[in-house]
Chain A
């Protein structure tokens, strides 16, 4: 099975800090990449797509490095409400998308 690896953390940071997560994938033919956020006992929700040229949405920046087969998520000026688990998803495509999830990185933002 193709692998998607994430550091489970937890990353414990103060409010206002900048924090970065990486996610590595093993299938060089992977075609699309995403970050999801999952709150405790809730469903994952799409945070952002990851494009080859990078993608920024407010305090969040996602980047893709195809040569080294990893994606990253940078969160600037962390808020208490950013506390959650961040899941990276990598899609193969062979007629239809087969998404593979990493196990997630836990972020705890404290006052």
Chain B
């Protein structure tokens, strides 16, 4: 069966520091992968999606970037965090009819 893992689960970072969140999927090949952010009390905002290795589509211009170095690995990065980057970051892969399966999320607090 398919599983998805993301880490770290929780992190507290100072403004201006770098960020790296990692997500891996097991049990499927060439999945569509997604990064979402959920700010406190708000809905899920699609940040990036990828349909294959090295293929990244950005939905929202910002200081974040994403990479897909391997088929089942999706990384979210930032060179310099802003206070507004705080939130709950969720990685997901999509099934055959577009249903999403999420990792457990990474809760980022920028101070």
A, B bound: yes
Q: Which residues of A contact B (CB under 8 A)?
A: 31-32, 34, 36, 41-46, 49, 87, 89, 91, 93, 95-104
Cβ-defined contact, A97 with B43, below 8 A? no
Contacting pair B34 A99 (CB below 8 A): yes
Q: How far is the CA of A39 from the CA of B36 in the complex (A)?
A: 17
- In the bound assembly, the distance between CA atoms of A45 and B98 in angstroms comes to 14
Across the interface, do B94 and A99 meet the contact criterion of CB distance under 8 Å?
yes
Size of interface on B: residues with Cβ below 8 Å to A: 22
Known A-B contacts A43-B103, A87-B44, A104-B43; A99 and B90 likewise in contact (beta carbons under 8 Å): no
Name the residue in B94, B97, B103 with the highest tally of chain A Cβ atoms < 10 Å from its Cβ: B97
**Chain B 80-111 interface mask (CB, 8 Å, partner A; 1/0):** 00000000101000100111111111010000
Does B75 belong to the interface (CB within 8 Å)?
no
- Residues in B47-79 with C-beta less than 8 Å from chain A: 49, 51
Cβ contacts under 8 Å, B99 to chain A: 32, 34, 46, 49
Cβ contact of A102, chosen from B43, B51, B100, B101, cutoff 8 A:
B43
CB contact under 8 A between A91 and B98, given known A43-B105, A96-B32, A98-B49: yes
> Chain A: which residue is nearest B94 at the CB level?
A97
The minimal Cβ–Cβ distance linking A23 to chain B, given in whole angstroms, is 12
Residue on A nearest B42 in the bound complex, by CB = A103
Residues of B close to A46: CB separation below 8 A: 99-101
A32 to B95, CA, bound (A): 12
Contact A95 B51 (CB under 8 A): yes
Query: Which residues from chain A contact B51 at a C-beta distance below 8 Å?
Result: 95-96
Q: Chain B residues near A32 (CB, 8 Å)?
A: 97-99
B104 touches A97 (CB 8 A): no
Q: Which of B36, B88, B98 has the most CB of A within 10 A?
A: B98
Interface centre among A34, A42, A101 (most CB of B within 10 A): A101
B98 contacts which chain A residues (CB < 8 A)? 31-32, 34, 91, 93, 97, 99
Tell me which residues across on chain A come within 8 A of B43, comparing CB atoms: 87, 101-104
